[in-house]
């Protein structure tokens, strides 16, 4: 068999760079350092794996497109996001060009594991550079890496970097600008008989698929390890390709049969050969003087992953986050509220009285302002989530949660999507693609929206303000934390029920690497907060703005002469819908006005607050008061207060469990490729929310609470 030597000339122009590497290698930090704020987040067509693209400015007239691929451990993929990354690298995606240059981000502290992927990427014959990241941690651990010798052994440029501190970034930019010369000669070998069979498949792929030898070699190894699975999938192919695909699969099976007769295992032979070669390189290039860094990591893990203290630490972090949400966030929230109030006053004074002024002040400003005011709380939430991810603590939460998740039939890896759902259920559901088991993935998707996302924050905040107007920040944080704990408990109970009934399967084994602790990249944290706040404001300026206008129209028409305030609102289209819903929600303590809010929040949970802002700006009970004061002043027709402590608590519990989000339903449909599961999810969560809110209100009344 040929040695598969690859030598590329310096390309005249690099247009597309792909960043790849193992999870937790610092790939996204490098992407942020390259692209700064020139980023775009979207989904690949046909799948909902989030992709990040951006532009790298090399000169005034030189722009390079940068793609941040999902993390992967191997080209022998096990999950949809890894498959997407492999397809991009092999030029199989329709809308994404095959990269002109691949930068493989390697965790310098875990070279042996990371170089396995490097060896597979080399087989593809792509121009490649290694960004040897986190070199500061290697130095703290007392290790030395001979970068020049490593570059010579691998046959490609190796650039030491500390992406979080922008070290090595300029060198990588220089390489991208100049192009790359790569000389790679495969240094690892399998048994001669296996090499011969692989060469046979390479010739078939070159002849019939038109692949170059490097891609054909990589494909041959994948086919030998996944032949049976490939056969089942290829039955879905079109009739025009049926004969050839069957012939190719027949050849693969013949090769596997011959290897079995010779006692050779194609699946493990390449793995063992690669690792043998990698170890020989590391023996020449790495010197380890001590392990102080590892000892420190172990001492910290002794606390944060402890059976008792791990939970104390985790709950303490959550309590601190909610405390900051109710204290520090108050100041900018007051500024935003004052700004929208002044804007409303200016519009009132500028425009003549009429429906246009009413629409702008009571519809648009009240609706959009009622949501934008919560931006500081959203920023604090994303600050903490980004901090937990950057420091490496997020993986520890999955570890301690595995003890709970295993009780319900899942493992700690499912908790990562659930924890991501605290920010938003949509990326949480998308990240469930990293779960190998289809049934475990589906269970995780079904329960992910039960985790209290950032869209619920406005609802919780206003209800807590009405429930406990004189409470301290710590007391409010305690109520907020209890809502999050209730959501986690509900998710675990429903996961247990699904695993015992609809989606019964074996309890999975949890294997997860715990990354070393790192100082967070404050630049990356700020970028993450900026991305999410931009999406939040975009949502407020588009979806919520449009809904505010629609809701204002529904609440203002048809107009009836002689009717004002509550009577006019009740006679409107929205009022009629709320009145029709009132008999169903009255056992929960809600009236027709709250019913309007529930209907409006089907679009998105936070719309409940903007809807209530419009309702009570149009309702004469509100006057010039704030929304909280309007809630406190609202009454039933017989004079009883509407927003009693029990009603506030019932509403919070309702929104813990209800799937009031069209976007989430759409994402579940795309993930499951069926309307069956999103409809099932919506129905079961609606029933769960109604029964939980009913129990809170009715049991509370039986116990003498108001």
Q: Which residues of the chain have pLDDT under 50?
A: 1-10, 41-48, 227-244, 293, 620-625
pLDDT in tens, 513-572: 667 777 787 877 888 788 778 877 777 677 777 877 887 888 888 877 777 767 888 888
DSSP, residue by residue, 339-358: HHHHHHHHHHHHSPSSHHHH
> Which residues are bridge partners to 62 per DSSP?
59
DSSP category for residue 107: E
HEC per residue, 14-57: CCEEEEEECCCCCHHHHHHHHHCCCEEEEECCCCCCEEEEEEEE
Q: What is the pLDDT of residue 705?
A: 83
Tell me the CA distances in angstroms from 408 to 74, 181, 367, 450, 685, one per residue in order: 30, 52, 41, 15, 18
- The pLDDT assigned to 8 comes to 46
How high is the pLDDT of residue 46? 41
Q: Are 34 and 169 in contact (CB under 8 A)?
A: yes
What pTM value is reported for the model? 0.63
Domain ranges of the chain: 6-184, 192-263
The pLDDT assigned to 157 comes to: 92
**From CA 32, how far away is CA 71, in angstroms rounded?**
15
pLDDT in tens, 264-273: 776 678 888 8
The residues near 612 (Cβ < 8 Å, ≥ 6 apart) are 370, 462, 593, 597, 627, 631
pLDDT value of residue 291: 54
For residue 76, give both structure tokens.
């022998």
Q: Could you tell me which CATH number the domain at 6-184 has?
A: 3.40.50.300
Owner of token pair 């017989």 = 638
CB 74 within 8 A of CB 120: yes
In sequence order, the β-bridge partners of residue 286 are 145
Residue 12's Cβ-side half-sphere holds a number of Cα atoms within 13 Å equal to: 0
């Amino acid at each position: 068999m040929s040695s598969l030597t690859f030598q590329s000339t310096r390309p005249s122009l690099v247009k597309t760079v792909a960043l790849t590497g193992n999870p937790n290698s610092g790939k996204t930090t490098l992407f942020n350092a390259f692209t700064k704020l020139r980023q775009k987040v979207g989904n690949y067509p046909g799948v909902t794996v989030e992709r990040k693209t951006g532009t790298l400015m090399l000169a005034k007239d030189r722009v390079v497109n940068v793609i941040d691929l999902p993390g992967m451990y191997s080209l022998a993929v096990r999950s949809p996001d890894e498959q997407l990354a492999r397809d991009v690298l092999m030029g199989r995606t329709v809308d994404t060009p095959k990269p002109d240059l691949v930068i493989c981000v390697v965790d310098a502290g875990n070279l042996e594991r990371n170089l396995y992927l490097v060896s597979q990427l080399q087989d593809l014959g792509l121009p490649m550079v290694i960004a040897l990241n986190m070199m500061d941690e290697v130095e703290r651990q007392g290790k030395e890496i001979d970068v020049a010798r490593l570059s010579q052994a691998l046959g490609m440029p190796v650039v030491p970097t500390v992406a979080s501190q922008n070290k090595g970034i300029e060198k990588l930019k220089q390489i991208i600008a100049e192009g790359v010369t790569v000389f790679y000669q495969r240094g690892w070998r399998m048994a001669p008989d296996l090499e011969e069979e692989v060469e046979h498949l390479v010739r078939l792929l070159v002849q019939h698929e038109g692949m170059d030898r490097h891609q054909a070699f990589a494909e041959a190894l994948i086919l030998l390890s996944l032949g049976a699975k490939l056969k089942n999938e290829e039955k879905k192919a079109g009739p025009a390709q049926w004969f050839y695909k069957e012939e190719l699969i027949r050849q693969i099976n013949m090769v596997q049969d011959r290897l079995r007769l010779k006692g050779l295992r194609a699946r493990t032979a390449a793995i063992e050969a690669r690792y043998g070669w990698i170890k020989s390189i590391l023996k020449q290039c790495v010197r380890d003087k001590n392990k102080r860094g590892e000892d420190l990591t172990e001492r910290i893990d002794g606390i944060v992953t402890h059976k008792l203290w791990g939970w104390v630490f985790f709950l303490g972090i959550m309590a601190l986050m909610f405390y900051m949400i109710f204290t520090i966030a108050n100041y900018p929230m007051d500024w935003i509220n004052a700004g929208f109030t002044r804007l409303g006053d200016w519009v009132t004074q500028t425009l003549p009285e009429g429906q246009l002024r009413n629409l702008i002040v009571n519809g648009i400003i009240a609706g959009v302002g009622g949501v934008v005011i919560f931006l500081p709380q959203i920023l604090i939430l994303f600050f903490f989530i980004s901090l937990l991810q950057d420091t490496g603590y997020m993986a520890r939460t999955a570890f301690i949660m595995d003890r709970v998740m295993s009780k319900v039939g899942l493992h700690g890896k499912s908790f990562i999507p659930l924890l991501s759902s605290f920010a938003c259920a949509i990326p949480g559901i998308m990240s469930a693609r990293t779960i190998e088991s289809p049934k475990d993935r589906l269970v995780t998707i079904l329960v992910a929206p039960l985790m209290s996302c950032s869209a619920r924050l406005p609802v919780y905040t206003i209800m807590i303000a009405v429930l406990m107007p004189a409470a301290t920040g710590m007391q409010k944080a305690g109520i907020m934390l209890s809502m999050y704990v209730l959501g986690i408990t509900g998710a675990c109970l429903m996961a247990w029920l699904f695993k015992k009934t609809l989606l019964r399967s074996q309890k999975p084994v949890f294997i997860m690497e715990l990354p070393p602790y790192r100082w967070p990249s404050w630049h990356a944290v700020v970028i993450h907060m900026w991305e999410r706040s931009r999406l939040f404001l975009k949502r407020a300026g588009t979806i919520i703005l449009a809904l505010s206008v629609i809701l204002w129209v529904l609440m203002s028409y048809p107009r009836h002469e002689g009717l004002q305030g509550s009577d006019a609102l009740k006679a409107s289209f929205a009022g009629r819908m709320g009145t029709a819903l009132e008999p169903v929600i009255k056992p929960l303590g809600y009236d027709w006005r709250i019913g309007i809010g529930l209907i409006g929040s089907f679009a998105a949970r936070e719309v409940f607050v903007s809807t209530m802002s419009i309702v009570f700006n149009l309702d004469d009970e509100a006057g010039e008061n704030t929304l909280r004061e309007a809630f406190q002043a609202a009454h039933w027709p017989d004079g009883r207060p509407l927003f009693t402590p029990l009603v506030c608590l019932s509403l919070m519990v309702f929104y813990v469990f209800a799937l009031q989000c069209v976007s989430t339903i759409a994402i579940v449909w795309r993930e499951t490729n069926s309307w069956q599961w999103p409809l099932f999810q919506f129905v079961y969560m609606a029933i769960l929310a109604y029964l939980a809110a009913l129990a809170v209100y009715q049991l509370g009344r039986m116990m003498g609470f108001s």
